[in-house]
Amino acid sequence: MKLSDFVNFNKSYLRLRNLELGYTLQRESTKKIGFDQIRIVLSGQNLFTWDKMKTKDFGPEGSGYMTFPVYRVYSFGVNLML
């Protein structure tokens, strides 16, 4: 049996899970190019995790066995309305 100090890890954490920023362009400028409305959207998931883990092999939610890292996802979109 191999001894482990896993149970001694401080697994408290704070995570920025979802963030979405959007901006709708002014109607005067969008009419000039033929659209009623243009909206630009930038979003992200799992952007930051602040923790005191001794290792980065697994996240604070994981057990250390068969866990997967938390992936960051970035999305960008433009909504055009005629």
- Minimum mean pLDDT range among 7-11, 23-27, 60-64: 60-64
CB 71 within 8 A of CB 15: no
Model-level pTM greater than 0.75? no
* Per-residue pLDDT at 57 exceeds 90: no
pLDDT of residue 13: 78
Residues pairing with 51 in the sheet:
13
CB 66 within 8 A of CB 17: no
The contacts of residue 70 (CB under 8 Å, 6+ apart) are 15, 46, 49, 59, 61
* Per-residue pLDDT at 5 exceeds 90: no
User: How confident is the model over 20-49, as a mean pLDDT?
Assistant: 92
* Per-residue pLDDT at 33 exceeds 70: yes
pLDDT of residue 7: 63
